[in-house]
A and B are shown apart, each in its own frame.
Chain A
Amino acid sequence: MSSVRLYTEFFKGFWKDNPAFRQLLGMCPLLAVTTSVLNGISMGIAMTFVLVCTSIVVSLIRKIVPNQVRIATFTIIIATFVTIADLFLKARFPPISKALGPYIPLIVVNCIILGRQEAFAKKNPLGRSFLDALGMGFGFTLALLLLGAIRESLGSGSILDIQILGTWFEPWVIMILPAGAFITLGFLIALMNLIDERLKKAA
């Protein structure tokens, strides 16, 4: 396989197959924790960690797992890494762990992770599975970051707790409420569709 192919394996997660915007997977952490940039990034890192570790293990054992029990096997591997991530956050970063609450354990049922195992890691060698997982993880982190930045700046007038909008700015409380999450994401996906359409016309 050529290096060009490896390159696409990594970068497809950013735009073309972005897990959050394109495949509409992993919606619950995406909408729930993006009230601030910090929460978004922490979630993204935790997700990427679990996704990459799981993909490595699944890719390594892909030939010895019987097909009938693969989903259960994958789920247990995922749950193990999520437990590790959760305990680590609880021990090292208690405030973040508290802010993310049950959404860290909920990574277990995140469709992105199981989806990547089914669609990719179970039939690809280690290197490519690793790049695929890393790309998807970063793509998802990017989505979390973007949504977090929009919601935090409009909802509290700050980014990473640093005030960026002056005192004249009246925070839009709706942005940090659940309703704001849905609406922002809806507009972001529409924007992406629009850009894609323009690109297609230009090409």
Chain B
Amino acid sequence: MNIILIFIAATIVNNIVLTYFLGICPFLGVSSKIESAIGMGLAATFVMTLAATVTWLIYHYILVRFNVPFLEYVSFILVIAALVQIVEMFIRKTSPELYRALGIYLPLITTNCAILGLTLFMVLREYNFLESVVFGFGSGVGFTLVLLIMAGIREELEFADVPEAFKGAPITLIISGLLALAFMGFSGIISTS
């Protein structure tokens, strides 16, 4: 039951983009085409789930055991960087098309705050192993969901008559604000911190 709650919380109620502002860069950058949004979302979900799994193991079996939790940030970022590298090589081999579409944003997943952010939240909230994996996966799904919604809106936006000064980033930010408001409607579903 707890697992389901964590999943729903991570996906919609406490959406990682709209409530914690993590992963805003790809959110603003990639989300103009639905295909690249899907690709980016899937890559991020994959890395997030893996990162949550691996960092949990490292934190509990290495850092805590040898009493060096201050190495948390350094080791987490290294693990994430290595994971992204692996995913990048994998995608380049299996789908060159997707690789071209994701372009610069794939290496940027390394510095995607969403991934480091979720591993930090995982430690802060003292999740156990299973909860961490579900939390990582749920956050990824939530990220993909918002990226997709945003891409859909922005494809329509190309035909809209936006005032000159609001073109580009400003209008995207304001739409994100409205989306965040809409997602607040879910907050009554469950009460989590």
Contact = CB atoms under 8 A, between A and B. Distances in A.
Contacts of B173: 182-183, 185-186, 189
Interface in A167-194: 174, 177-183, 185-187, 189-191, 193-194
B73 A24 contact: no
B174 A182 contact: yes
Contact of B111 (A102, A109, A179, A183): A109
Interface in A19-69: 24-25, 27-28, 31-32
B74 to A, nearest CB: 4
A131 interface: no
Interface string B28-67: 1000000000000000000000000000000000000000
A193 B167 CA distance: 9
Contacts of A183: 173-174, 177-178
A28 B21 contact: yes
B169 to A, nearest CB: 5
Interface residues of A, number: 42
Looking at B18, B72, B169, the one whose CB has the most chain A CB atoms below 10 A away is B169
Contacts of B180: 177-179, 182
Contacts of A180: 177
B120 A179 contact: no
B5 interface: no
Interface residues of B, number: 45
A28 B113 contact: yes
Interface in B12-29: 18-25, 28
Interface of B: 18-25, 28, 70-74, 77-78, 81, 108, 110-113, 115-117, 120-121, 124, 163-167, 169-174, 176-178, 180-181, 184
25 contacts: A24-B28, A24-B169, A31-B21, A79-B73, A102-B121, A105-B73, A105-B120, A106-B120, A109-B111, A110-B111, A111-B25, A111-B111, A114-B111, A174-B181, A177-B184, A179-B178, A179-B180, A179-B181, A179-B184, A185-B173, A186-B169, A189-B169, A190-B165, A190-B170, A193-B166
